Amino acid sequence: MTGLHWIIAIISSLVLVLIVIYMLQEKLIFIPRSLPADHQFQFTHSIPFEELTVSADDGTKLHGILFQNAPQPKGLLFYLHGNANSAQEWGEIAIHYAGTGFDLFIADYRGYGKSGGKIRSQEEFFEDAGKFYDELVTRYESMVIIGYSVGTAPAAWLGANRNPAKVILKAPFYNLMDIKRRHYPLLPGFLMRYTFPTDEYLAKTTAPITIFHGDNDNIIPIESSSRLKPILKPEDQYIRLAGQTHAGMNWNPEYQDNLRAILLKLGY
């Protein structure tokens, strides 16, 4: 094989790798656990719950769990979880939100839990969250959006495109391009079909915002969310959790104390 043939082979291989990365981005970002339609949810706590299904614009059935924490709830905590597992695993966190006076809803994205379909685009990912929100806002006067990790992207989008009482982001990124630069600096930016521009959405959000981030997070470095500080309004909060890693924030006493203080300040 001549030198020219080697060059052509190397370039062809690189192009193939880039095509694969472009086409399979969902598999790099999302790690769903699907559940059969007849799955019976069971949790270690005894908080009563209701399964909720809504239809996306294309007819895909989207599923989530509504935990009923109070006979007369003051509002709803609308929780958008991270990129792995399903509402079966995430439902265990409901115990940490009991006693707040707010019900808790945990949405499963496409392909997660009992939700059908597969995530195919950023726009669809966000619009699906909007479908859940629009269904639940008919039941609750006060909606508090909580997004964790990858769930902070649709949470920020909802903050900019709906009218929640509060937006809480846990371990957010400035945008996904910022994370790409930190973890995959050699990956060309033009390949990114998912950009998750949290910075742009927060700049358009009129609701009060609180950001929580652990200073020991090696998945989404706290330096990424720190870049969001100049965008925040004077009344917004940025809370640094000392020693907190990416996982387990719901168990963090400082997070729990601040969350309850936040809900009290909403005036309920």
Number of C-beta neighbours around residue 218 at 10 A: 9
Q: For 37-90, write each residue's pLDDT tens digit.
A: 999 999 999 999 999 999 999 999 999 999 998 888 999 999 999 999 999 999
H helical segments located in the chain: 3-23, 25-29, 87-90, 122-136, 152-161, 176-183, 198-203, 222-226, 253-265
Q: What is the pLDDT of residues 176-200, one digit of tens each?
A: 889 878 766 656 656 678 999 999 9
Rounded to 10 degrees, the C-alpha dihedral 140/142/146/152 comes to: 100
pTM: 0.91
Q: Percentage of residues in the chain with pLDDT exceeding 90?
A: 79
* pLDDT tens column, 206-257: 999 999 999 999 999 999 999 999 999 999 999 999 999 999 999 999 999 9
| Residue 71 pLDDT | 84
In the prediction, which pLDDT does 254 show? Answer: 98
CATH number at residue 28: 3.40.50.1820
Residue-level pLDDT at 16? 46
- What's the confidence (pLDDT) of residue 18? 47
According to the model, what pLDDT value does residue 83 have?
A: 96
Across all residues in the chain, what is the average pLDDT? 90
- Report the domain count for the chain: 1
Dihedrals phi, psi of 55, to nearest 5 degrees = -105, 130
Give residue 183's pLDDT: 65
Q: Per-residue pLDDT tens for 107-131?
A: 999 999 999 999 999 999 999 999 9
pLDDT in tens, 125-178: 999 999 999 999 999 989 999 999 999 999 999 999 999 999 999 999 999 889
The boundaries of the domain holding residue 189 are 3-265
Beta strand ranges found along 56-152 (DSSP E): 61-67, 75-80, 84-85, 102-107, 143-148
Whether pLDDT at 24 is above 70: no
